[in-house]
Amino acid sequence: MTLSRTTRFLLIAAPAALMVAGTLAAAPAAAPSPQAAIAARQAGYKKMGAAMKAINDQLKTDAPAKAVMAPAAQTLAVTAREQPKLFPAGSGPTAGVKTDALPNIWTDRKTFDAQMAKLIAESGKLVAVMNGGNIDAIRVQAKATGGTCAACHRQFRQDT
């Protein structure tokens, strides 16, 4: 089978052009390097872990201190909104730095993004309930928020 000169040109040039276009399109967004994104998201998750712990430590006591729980809930809600930006392509296990992010984040992105959205919604509710001040409601919502962390980790994080 012989290919016309034009076909051959297209076969070689088209992928190259797509790659260049892709790079150009990505560049203006100033996406963080995969390594920087990994460091940033891990720091963010640690912050959220500490906030969750602060809330749950209070809820274990007989008189949970709202002064401790309310800022922690705020931290959760704010940080949850920053995390979705920090999973650029190439920041998976192939990035060359230690990450527990599983490759299925990038093959099943819809599910992953839905989990992100769920955390944003639940942590937002937690802030609202916090302002309400009913301890039982806070307890229920803290558990619901923690449940979204656990659900995503089971699916998209290595070694829990």
Partner 1 sequence: MPDAAMTASDTPAPGTRLARIWDAPIRLFHWLLLPLIAFSWWSGERHEMEWHRLSGYGILALLVFRIYWGFFGGRTARFAQFLRGPGAALAYLRSQASGRHEPAPGHNPIGGWSVILMLATLVAMVLAGLFAVDVDGLESGPLADYVSFDQGRLASDIHGIIFNLLLALIVLHVAAIFFYTVRLRQNLVGPMIHGRRRTGEQVADVTTSPWRALIGIAIAGACAYAVARGFRL
- Residues near ligand HEC, by CB under 6 A: 38, 41-42, 45-46, 48-49, 52, 76, 99-101, 112, 115-116, 119, 145, 148-149, 152-153, 156-157
52 lies in the binding site for partner 1 (CB under 8 A):
yes
Q: Least Å distance between CB 124 and ligand HEC?
A: 12
The SS3 of residue 1 is: coil
Q: Using an 8 Å Cβ cutoff, are 84 and 116 in contact?
A: yes
Q: Using an 8 Å Cβ cutoff, are 21 and 13 in contact?
A: no
Q: Least Å distance between CB 102 and partner 1?
A: 14
57 lies in the binding site for partner 1 (CB under 8 A):
yes
State the Cα–Cα distance between residues 94 and 107, nearest whole angstrom.
Answer: 14
Q: Using an 8 Å Cβ cutoff, are 160 and 154 in contact?
A: yes
The SS3 of residue 62 is: coil
State the Cα–Cα distance between residues 12 and 21, nearest whole angstrom.
Answer: 15
Give the residue with the Cβ less far from partner 1, 131 or 158. 158
The residue range among 2-10, 13-21, 46-54, 80-88 that interacts with partner 1, by the rule CB under 8 A, is 46-54
Residue type, 60: K
Q: Least Å distance between CB 118 and partner 1?
A: 14
State the Cα–Cα distance between residues 106 and 122, nearest whole angstrom.
Answer: 23
Judged by beta carbon distances under 5 to 8 A according to partner kind, the member of partner 1, ligand HEC, none in contact with residue 109 is none
Catalog residues that contact partner 1 under the rule CB under 8 A: 46, 48-53, 55-57, 60-62, 143, 146-147, 149-150, 153, 157, 160
